[in-house]
Amino acid sequence: MRPAVEVRPAVGDDLPGIAVLCSEARRESASGAQICAPDEDRLVRHLSVLLTLPGGNVLVALHDGRPVGFVLARVLEPHLFADEPSLYVEAVYVGEDARRRGVGHALLSATAELAAGAGATHVYSVPIPGSRGVQRFLARLGFGPVAGHRVVSTAVLQRRLASDLTPPARRGTRSLEDLIARRRRARTETMSGPVDLREFQAEYRSRTGVVTTSVEARETLPG
């Protein structure tokens, strides 16, 4: 018989154990830097902030009094694009040594009760990047894709924006000027024909006062 798994709202004493699990999730994911901070002390502070936010919830799964899984969630009140509350699950994770023991189902059952109690009509979840097992688990429970997230660090975003607004390098400007000059030369040479007849045309006009086209000038050439 499997020992019972207890799921309840986390308190301050639970946060260090949950931070250890967060670090485990970070190491397991191919995109660890997008999940959480690497420092467990900072993670405890971050979890404490989530508990103080309006609608912030941290659920912890305990096995023999030890944290083996968690859910981080927020109740979102109606806003510009939704007229009903919803529950946003930021992370759900079960420790590697506690899987296939009903911990995930126990966590999601408590999550569903949390959503129902808040009047949330939908539960949104963002699976940990690279965690196919969690994605399959959520799919079995009815979660379907609705949108994709993209992420960029603030520093990279600012650098790319600044790069887009910076004038082209002088070398690029020089290349553009050279291209324009070459095109102008090509047009001039085309207007005077395949043979450069400009001196001949100028001399002919000075003698006769007649404006001669390139075609006419070619016809007057010997041979």
Question: What are the pLDDT digits (tens) for 155-174?
Answer: 888 888 888 776 665 545 55
Q: Contact at 8 Å (CB) between 18 and 10?
A: yes
Q: What letter represents residue 203's amino acid?
A: E
Name the helix (H) or strand (E) containing 56.
strand 56-63
Residues 183 and 129 in one domain: no
Identify the domain boundary among 135, 160, 185.
Answer: 160
pLDDT score recorded for residue 216: 47
Residues 126 and 71 in one domain: yes
Identify any residues that bridge with 69 across adjacent strands, giving them in sequence order.
Answer: 61, 94
Identify any residues that bridge with 75 across adjacent strands, giving them in sequence order.
Answer: 87
Residue 175 has pLDDT above 60, yes or no: yes
Domain range for 214 is 167-220
Residues 112 and 202 in one domain: no
> In the numeric block, which tokens belong to residue 52?
């103080």
pLDDT score recorded for residue 36: 61
Identify the domain boundary among 118, 139, 160.
Answer: 160
3-state class of 49 per DSSP?
helix
Structure confidence at residue 222 as a pLDDT band (50, 70, 90):
very low
- Residue 1 domain flag: no
- The pLDDT of 209-218, averaged and rounded, is 49
pLDDT score recorded for residue 151: 65
Residues 182 and 99 in one domain: no
Residues 42 and 138 in one domain: yes
Structure confidence at residue 3 as a pLDDT band (50, 70, 90):
low
Which CATH number covers residue 104? 3.40.630.30
Residues 47 and 28 in one domain: yes
- Residue 154 domain flag: yes
Residues 205 and 152 in one domain: no
Query: What is the Cα Rg of the chain in Å?
Result: 36
Residues 173 and 144 in one domain: no
Residues 48 and 151 in one domain: yes
- Residue 148 domain flag: yes
- Residue 177 domain flag: yes
Question: Who wins on pLDDT, 12 or 203?
Answer: 12
DSSP secondary structure letter of residue 1: -
Residues 6+ apart with CB under 8 A from 149: 126
- The pLDDT of 129-155, averaged and rounded, is 76
| Angstrom distance (rounded) from CA 60 to CA 7 | 6
- Residue 114 domain flag: yes
Residues 83 and 156 in one domain: yes
- Tell how far CA 172 is from the center of its chain: 30
Q: Give how many domains the chain has, as a whole number.
A: 2
Structure confidence at residue 16 as a pLDDT band (50, 70, 90):
very high
pLDDT score recorded for residue 117: 92
Residues 128 and 174 in one domain: no
Sheet (strand 123-125) strand order: 6-9, 56-63, 66-76, 86-94, 123-125
Residues 6+ apart with CB under 8 A from 43: 18, 19, 22, 23, 36, 37
For residue range 64-116, list pLDDT tens digits in order: 889 999 999 999 988 777 788 899 998 899 988 888 888 999 999 999 999 99
Residues 112 and 23 in one domain: yes
Closest CA to 27 of 95, 110, 83: 95
Question: Who wins on pLDDT, 19 or 189?
Answer: 19
3-state class of 70 per DSSP?
strand
